[in-house]
Structure formats: structure tokens, C-alpha cells
Amino acid sequence: MDHLLEIQNLEVKFRLRSGEVTAINDVSFFLDQGERVGLVGESGAGKSVTGFAIIKLISKPGFISGGKVLFEGRDIAGLSIEEVRNIRGNRISMIFQDPMMTLNPVLSIGTQMTETILAHKNVSKAEAQAIALDKLKKVHIPSPEKRLDQYPHEFSGGMRQRIVIAIALLTDPAVIIADEPTTALDVTIQAEIMDLLSELCESEKMALILITHDLGVVSQVTDRIIVMYAGRIVEQGLTRDVVSNPRHPYTKGLIAALPESQQRGKALSQIPGTMPSLTDMPQGCSFHPRCELVMPICKEKVPELIELDNKNALVACHALAKGGAS
Amino acid sequence: MNTQAKPLLKLEDVYKEFDVTGGFWEQFRWENGRPVRKKAIVKAVNGVTFDIYQGETFSVVGESGCGKSTLARTVTGLLQPECGKIFYDGDRIDDLSYSQKTPYKKRMQMVFQDPYASLNPRFTVRKTLEEPLFFHYPELTREQRLDRIAEVMEQVGVHPAWAERFPHEFSGGQRQRISIARALMVDPEFIVADEPVSALDVSVQAQILNLFMEAQEKRGLTYMFITHDLSVVAHISTRVAVMYLGSLCELSPGGEIFNNPRHPYTKALLSAIPRLGEKKAKHIRLKGEVTSPLHLPSGCVFHKRCTYAKEICTQEIPTPFTAGDNAAVACHGVEQGWVG
Amino acid sequence: MKKYWRRFKNSFFWFSFRRDPVAIASFSILVILAILSFSAPWIAPHDVYESSSIDIMNSELPPAWMEEGSSDYMLGTDIQGRDMLSAMLYGMRLSILIGLGAVCLQAVLGVLIGLIAGYVGGKVDSFLMRVADVQLSFSTLMVAIIISAIFQLAFGLAKYEDLAVPLLIVIIGLAEWPQYGRTVRASVLGEKKKEYVEAARVIGLPRWWIMFRHILPNTLSPVLVISTVQVANAIMSEAALSFLGLGMPVTKPSLGSLINSGFEYIFSGSWWITLFPGVLLVTLVVVINLLGDWVRDVLNPKLYKR
């Protein structure tokens, strides 16, 4: 019960011209102190919406229509905007795919960093500067003193993402939510940023929610994996278990579809079709039109997350619930 | 390399530069007390030489800014190389005019990266697919054209009944299928694919890669695949060329480059791929910061980031030499034996 | 046909129109005004072009509800004894006609030049855009005044009266094409880089075909947006020219020349000759501009989400 962050039955809806659609549905998971969790799914799975909903950053036409986000015992979803601001960017920081979403192009890095500190902490300007410098060192930016006076456009993509991480660290947050932090970067730089993130989580005792579509990245950095499909969690478990022994047909298909899991030159195994759009979700399990193990019940009832071998392994699949497939 | 077969495409020392200075007035800089006229030139492709043989899948890998997309566009004639020669099936094609290239366009097609930008939003699928036939096969009747469209649509896995739909009614994967169909319409023998799956989700990526391989088998196509994703390349390529800042670092057979990478950059690139289930994998760290293609370093373009770099690397540009079976590497260290 | 109607009914365009009271109101007013003006020969109580029906004795009659007013002339008469209401209806017809005509000319010229400048690029582009710059640095009115003064001199006043409508269309059309030229060029430059254009080039389609079949249709939404504003501008330009005495002659009054003809008498108490056409002109221009704002919002790709 004493989790750092606990999400209970979270539901986010969007009001569209054609009516309301549910972007994420019945999402529940938890995060302990210093734990690293990966939120994996393809585009449209609702992983980013979940990330934004945790810090109540859902903008119109979307809104949180149900569920709770308990952070240190308080329900963020029910807090006022003022109170949320105290948590967002302070106790929980967020890193986006595009560093320029965080960075202001017309202010120097130093100004942006000290302003953030002064907004959240009661310190002098000199102290704020010292903190900024310290954090820049932590993210391994060469010659940080010089860099404080530079502007975002003077940095390369990888360096910018490092600065964003440094800004996220300024208030010593308990949780960092990283939304596709390396998708726009080259592999060599992605590897460096990911190394940095895991290093920081360990040294600063931070918890990390890593939102990404890349199973490879997640498997290198995280302790647990949560797989989302069409707005719902379909599988959850320890990273090494999920990667080596995926249970849900979707996770299985996803891993098998990676080129590296096939012999060279052979056809890749593929999941037929595409993820349904929010506006025409199929009845029952949303994966059933693409599933090999589809049974009559799948077309009628939404499967619930059930425990399999241990408390950590949860799967939402009728075929597995009955013990029909493994 | 493979000497029996005749190369389908031959690149000889191709250079491509871009002037990014902007307008006339932006070329002037104040230096040492007087105005100097300076141009900012990006050297996107620097003396690239290779052959592509009939029926193979030739991949070009590299990170952003390495010139791989420029190379693809130079090969298909969208860009004019500054220097060097390009031969297609023995004929020189780089110095032809737009209309002189027409006969080659029937044989050489291209598939693009962004499935959202590569289809004209105002054309239905039928119109998009019909257009190449109008120009390259004017003798066909309307019925014959429609038959052919239906046939190709079937082949790429898009239901022929959807011919009257617009691109925005399709998902990214389906649009990419339509793009491939457009390339296949003229029945080409060679397809250049510029990052064809990098904008797609993993499960869809596999579908499209399978489609490429299927089409190759059925039609005996030759591919030039441009990608930043080594794991995709590993799977489908006959040979792989690795590029860094406009230069070719290594050219090896597909399996070879993964089991036995030779160039220091190839090694770093390989170690950086996030692989399933390898927690805390050891990445090879590169030195320094990303080098800008605006100011190419002297000597080997990679020397500023290379952990093995010695004096000679900063002075002399390495020329590719043949290492092992069918592999060519451009690195002083590998040639002289101080890179393991 | 039915298919297109259904597609229109399902479109975002129709959806946002239905939900915007300002757009509905301005569109309805515009349609009413347009119908009224173009059916002027049938619904106007008097024929203002027929000089035999005009009696100088009826000049400067005030509107019907005033003491000296006559029920024959609802909004009074002007200095020559023409019925104001009829004159305004005929005048508005001319104003709209000239406005639309001028915009068509501007659009054709501007789109063509912008397309060529954007697609061909290089020296051609530089040359055409410098011409546009030079023309934009003169005010529209100044260019129009010069051209119309030259025409009046060259053809003589009598001939000018016959040719006034096409001449004004040409004058205003020539003066404002750079607006279109620049807008189209900018969006051509944006479209040209897109991969579907590259794909068309890889297929080997002729350049003119790529230009007109692929790029042009995709640059038309900004053209539509500025067109509404340009119609309003053209109507204003015409009114301004006529007001200065360089536009429509008194025998064939447009809204501008009506305002002008009454302006001299405004202080002698005949305010209606200026006020009524003035109000009508303002209404017409405001309504078109409001509609233009709405079109801009709808077609703005940044706002076009879901």
C-alpha cells in the first residue's frame, strides 16, 4: 500500500466532434521509490496520455474522467491547479521527446535553470547558480561554467537532451517521467542518454517512468515493464521475465516482430492488421481482431488483468485466464 | 568483390555539396577589419564509390547527417552530383537532362520515408497509381490500367476496393504499402528505399519488411536500402555500407558486418543498438561531440571521435582497402593493424 | 454529384460553419445582399440607367419617413433626382462585380507568377519577386490612380464611361497581384520539398504536370483564405477610386461614386445621399471580412485537428 506513486483505474476521455472517446481505460500500476518502470506500446496505445495524466497535464479536449493518481498519499487527479504545480516540475519532473518543448530558445541555459530553482526553492541567486552548475556536471556536460551562458541553439540534439535532464534534476524530484526521450536521437547518442538516465536513477535514488515504443531500450534500463495496447494495460511484469517469456499474444507478437529475433533472410513474423483507432474500438478485447488465440468470449468481454505465476506478473487475456495457452 | 556479375548501378567518386549560406547579403562576414565574402558549404557526400549488383539488397547505414538520404536522391536523379559519375546498367546517367532520364525512371523507382508526406493528399489511391502508367505506358487502355492497379494493390496487401479512397483514410503502414505500389506500377528492376520503415510501429515494420522481401522474390528486384537502423539492415541485406559524415567507412557482406565489424565507427554503432534482455550492455563511448558537416575535419572524418586515432588519421584521408572476404574498410588503424 | 454533397456534409468545413453563429450571420447577410444587388433590374423601384425616368424636379428628396419625403422614393433621391434605393442596389451590383472581377484577375496573375517563381526558383524567382516588391512598395491606390489617369487621358472621358467596369477590374487586378504571388510562392516552396513531389519527379512526370496537377491544388487553401479579404479590399479600392472621381462615372454610379456625389451636399442637409451607400458599403465589407476570418481559422492546418 505504501507505494511512492500509485495509479488506480485511471481513465482519460477525449471529447470529439463525433462524441466522446476513451483514450486510456482502467489503467492501474504502481511505482516504488527508486524503481524504473517502462511503459511500452505502439503509437496510439495511450502510453503518452498516461504519462501526461499522472501530472494532470491533459489539455482540452481531453479530461481525466475517472480513477486516482496517488502520489505520496495524495490524489493528484483531484488536486487544484495550484497544488498540482507544487508537485509537477518539482517532485515529479517530465522529459519530452523534443528538448525544445522544455527549453526556451531566447533565454540562456543558466537563466532558465536558475529561474526554475527560484520558482520552487527558497534560495539566493548565487545558491541557485551553484545548484545549476552542479546538475550540469551530473549530466556530464563538458565545461559547464561556459555552457551556462549559451543558448539552446548552440547545443547539439544530444546535449540539449542532457540539459533538459539537468533541468528535470534541479528540484531533486522523486519521479522522472521520460516520454520517448531518445526517439529523435541517433543510436550512439541514445545509448549515452540511456546510460546517463540509469546512472542518475541510481545515484539520486529517483524513480523513472520510461515511455517508449522501443522494447530494446526498455529492456536495458528498466526493472519492470508495462505493455499497453489500445488504451489498456495488457501485460505487466519484471523486465527480464517479459522479455524472455512474454505471455500476452500481443507482447509475444511484438517481440517476435523485431528483426533481431529472426534468422537472417527469413520472413519476419508479423502481427496482421493495425491497432484500432480510438473512434472504432472493437467489442471485447481490443486485440482480438489481430489475435491468433481468439475465442468467442474475446469478442464479447474485456479481459481483466490477472496474476499469473507471481504478484508481479499480470496479463489481460481470456486465453491465458483459462489456462488454455501459455 | 563479386566479379562475375555486371553491376546494375555503379558510383564513381561521387561528391554532393549544398550551399546553405542563404541570400547574397548573408554571405558577407566582417573579418579582421574588412568584409569577407564567405559561403557555408555542407559537404553531404564525399567521394563515394561502390557497385550494386543485380538481385542484391544493398544497404547504406549511418546516423543523421551522414549523407545517406542525399546519396539516395543523387542515385535516383533528384539531385545532381557536383563531381563523379553514376552508371546505370553501363550507361552514364548523372549528366542527363530531366527528360533524357525518362527511360531510366521506368527501371529505377524510389520509396520514401514519411508515409504522410509521400502521397499527394488530394489524389485518390487510383489516381496516384494510375499516373505512372499514363506516362510510361500510354498505350494501355483504361481497363488495362485499372486491372494493373488492382493487381498491384492486391500484391502489396491493400484491398483493391479501396482504390477510390484518399490517403488520410489509411494508416501509416497502409500508406507505405501504397507508396510501394506506386513504385511497383512501372515494373522497375531497381528500387531505392529511403528509410521506408523508420516512421512505422514495430508490428507494422515487420509487415512492410516482409512485403519488400516478398516483392524481391517475385519480381527479382534489386534494392538500395537507406536506414539508420542496423537491426533492420542485419536482417535483409546482402551487403552493407556504413557511412559517416559523407564518407564510406566500411562495406561488408550483411552477416559479416554484425559478426565481425572492422571499422571503429561500425563497432561503436553496433554496440549502441539496444538489444532485448541485455541489461547494462557495454556501449563503446565515442569521444567528443558530434562533428558538423559544415567543417569537415582534415584526414579521416571520424578521427575526432575515434578512440584509436593517431597522428596519421588527422592528416591523411584513408582509402578503402580490401580486408578479409569481400569487405572493404577505410581506416588507417585497421590497415596498419593497430585497431583490433 | 451526390457523393460530393455527402462528402461536403461530413466535412470539417460544414461542421465548423454550423457551429459558428458569426459565420452563419455574415454568410446570410452576404447572400441576401448579393441576391438583392444582382436582381436589381427586377426589384429596384426605378431604373437609374434610364435617363428619361429621372426628373431633376425630384432631386434631393429626403427619405420617405421625413416630412418632405415621398413614398415613391423610400430612401430619398440624390442630386440628379435618382431614387437612392435603386441607385444603391445597382451600385452594389457594380461594386461586387468589380470586386470579384478584380480578385479573379489578381488570383490568376498572382497564382501563375507565384507558382512559376516558387517552382522554377533561382534567377526567375528573384526577378519576379523583386517586381512584386517594387509594386508592393507603391500603395495600391497610387498605382490605380496613375493607371486610371492615363486611361482617361488616352481614351477620352466619353469612351472611358463605357469602358469603366473592365478598366477598373484590370486596374485593381494589376495593382494587387503580389499578395497572391507571394502567398502562392511561399506555399509552393513548402510543398516542393514534400516527398510526394519528389516521388512525382522520380516517376518522371513532366514538370508542368507536377506544377499544375500536384503542387497547385495543394497551395490553394491559403489562396482561398486571402481571396475573401482581397474581395473586400478590392471593393474598398473601387469605392476609394470612385470617391476620388477616378472610378465609376456619375451616370453609372457604384457605391463609391454615390458616396462621392452626396459628399458635397452633406453640409447642406442632404445627409442621406452619402450615409445610406456608406452604411451599405461598410456592411458589405465587414461581412466579407468576418467570413474571411472564419475561413482562415477553418483552413489553418495548425487548428485543423480531429
CB-based contact C15 A17, cutoff 8 Å? yes
CB-based contact A268 B286, cutoff 8 Å? no
Place of cell 540539459: A163
- Of B207 and C4, the structure prediction assigns the larger pLDDT to B207
Q: What is the pLDDT of residues A93-124, one digit of tens each?
A: 999 988 888 899 999 999 999 998 998 888 99
CA distance B110 to chain C (A): 7
- List chain C domain ranges: 23-30+83-299
Looking at residue A322, what is its pLDDT?
Answer: 64
- Of B24 and C272, the structure prediction assigns the larger pLDDT to C272
CB neighbourhood size of A24 (10 A): 27
Q: What is the pLDDT of residues A248-306, one digit of tens each?
A: 999 999 988 888 777 777 788 888 888 888 888 898 999 999 998 889 999 999 998 88
What percentage of residues in chain B have a pLDDT greater than 90? 44
- Name which of A21-30, B31-40, C295-304 the model is least confident about: C295-304
Looking at residue C303, what is its pLDDT?
Answer: 46
- Name which of A177-191, B112-126, B303-317, C258-272 the model is least confident about: C258-272
B269, B276, B285: residue with CB nearest A216: B276
- Residues B214-234 as b/e (b if ≥16 CB within 10 A, e otherwise) read ebbeeeebbbbbbbbbbbbbb
Q: How far apart are the first and last CA of chain B?
A: 23
Interface size, chain B vs chain C, as Cβ–Cβ contacts under 8 Å: 58
- State whether residue B271 sits within 8 Å of chain A by CB: yes
CA distance B279 to chain A (A): 4
Q: What is the mean pLDDT of residues B96-114?
A: 91
Cα separations in angstroms, A256 against A172, A229, A243, B276: 39, 16, 10, 11
- Chains in touch with A (3+ beta-carbon pairs under 8 Å) read B, C
> What is the C-alpha to C-alpha distance for residues C245 and C145, in angstroms, rounded to an integer?
10
CB-based contact B202 A240, cutoff 8 Å? no
> What is the C-alpha to C-alpha distance for residues A286 and A301, in angstroms, rounded to an integer?
10
A226: β partners: A39, A236
CB neighbourhood size of B248 (10 A): 25
Q: Which residue of B has its CA nearest to C3?
A: B164
CA distance A260 to chain B (A): 6
pTM given for the model: 0.85
> What is the C-alpha to C-alpha distance for residues A113 and A168, in angstroms, rounded to an integer?
9
| 3-state DSSP of chain B | CCCCCCEEEEEEEEEEEEECCCCHHHHEEEECCEEEECCCEEEEEEEEEEEEECCCEEEEECCCCCCHHHHHHHHCCCCCCCEEEEEECCEECCCCCCCCCHHHHCCEEEECCCCCCCCCCCCCHHHHHHHHHHHHCCCCCHHHHHHHHHHHHHHHCCCHHHHHCCHHHCCHHHHHHHHHHHHHHCCCCEEEEECCCCCCCHHHHHHHHHHHHHHHHHHCCEEEEEECCHHHHHHHCCEEEEEECCEEEEEEEHHHHHHCCCCHHHHHHHHHCCCCCCCCCCCCCCCCCCCCCCCCCCCCCCCCCCCCCCHHHHHCCCCCEEECCCEEECCHHHHHCCCC
Residues of B in contact with A215 (CB under 8 A): 202, 276
- Going by pLDDT thresholds of 50, 70 and 90, the confidence category of residue B61 is very high
What's chain B's length in residues? 340
Helix (H, G, I), strand (E, B) or coil at C7: helix
pLDDT at A325 over 50: no
- List chain B domain ranges: 7-107+188-336
CB-based contact B118 C201, cutoff 8 Å? no
- Going by pLDDT thresholds of 50, 70 and 90, the confidence category of residue C272 is confident
pLDDT at C60 over 80: no
CB-based contact B280 A191, cutoff 8 Å? no
> What is the C-alpha to C-alpha distance for residues C168 and C242, in angstroms, rounded to an integer?
10
Residue C250: what residue type? V
pLDDT at C9 over 60: yes
Give me chain B's average pLDDT, please.
Answer: 87
Fold annotation for B7-107+188-336: Rossmann fold (3.40.50)
- Of B60 and C252, the structure prediction assigns the larger pLDDT to B60
CB-based contact C203 B119, cutoff 8 Å? no
Looking at residue B274, what is its pLDDT?
Answer: 83
> What is the C-alpha to C-alpha distance for residues B226 and B68, in angstroms, rounded to an integer?
6
Per DSSP, C267 falls in state G
A69: β partners: A7
Looking at residue C102, what is its pLDDT?
Answer: 92
Q: What is the strand order of the sheet A306-307 is part of?
A: A92-95, A175-179, A207-212, A36-40, A224-229, A232-238, A314-315, A306-307
Interface residue of A187, A196, A248 to substitute, partner B, most B CBs within 10 Å: A187
- Of B290 and B334, the structure prediction assigns the larger pLDDT to B334
What percentage of residues in chain C have a pLDDT greater than 90? 22
Q: What is the pLDDT of residues A16-29, one digit of tens each?
A: 877 888 999 999 99
Helix (H, G, I), strand (E, B) or coil at C83: strand
**Highest-pLDDT range among B270-279, C28-37, C138-147, C166-175:** C28-37
> What is the C-alpha to C-alpha distance for residues B13 and C166, in angstroms, rounded to an integer?
61
Superfamily of domain C23-30+83-299: MetI-like (1.10.3720.10)
> What is the C-alpha to C-alpha distance for residues B304 and C248, in angstroms, rounded to an integer?
74
Q: A204: which 3 cell numbers?
A: 539520486
What percentage of residues in chain A have a pLDDT greater than 70? 98
CA distance B101 to chain A (A): 33
Q: What is the pLDDT of residues B153-175, one digit of tens each?
A: 999 999 999 999 999 888 889 99
Is residue A25 within 8 Å of residue A11, measured between CB atoms?
A: yes
- Going by pLDDT thresholds of 50, 70 and 90, the confidence category of residue C80 is confident
> What is the C-alpha to C-alpha distance for residues C266 and C283, in angstroms, rounded to an integer?
21
Q: What is the mean pLDDT of residues B65-74?
A: 91
Is residue A239 within 8 Å of residue B279, measured between CB atoms?
A: yes
CB-based contact B277 A219, cutoff 8 Å? yes
Q: What is the pLDDT of residues C180-215, one digit of tens each?
A: 999 999 999 999 989 999 999 999 899 899 999 999
pLDDT at B212 over 90: yes
> What is the C-alpha to C-alpha distance for residues A239 and B178, in angstroms, rounded to an integer?
37
Looking at residue B25, what is its pLDDT?
Answer: 67
- The CATH architecture annotation of domain A5-35+43-81+226-321 reads 3-Layer(aba) Sandwich (3.40)
- List chain A domain ranges: 5-35+43-81+226-321
pLDDT at B5 over 70: no
Looking at residue C53, what is its pLDDT?
Answer: 67
> What is the C-alpha to C-alpha distance for residues B122 and A147, in angstroms, rounded to an integer?
48
- Going by pLDDT thresholds of 50, 70 and 90, the confidence category of residue B24 is low
Cα separations in angstroms, B109 against A300, B130, C53: 46, 15, 74
- State whether residue C195 sits within 8 Å of chain B by CB: yes
pLDDT at C296 over 50: yes
Q: Can you tell me the ipTM of this complex?
A: 0.87
- Of C231 and C59, the structure prediction assigns the larger pLDDT to C231
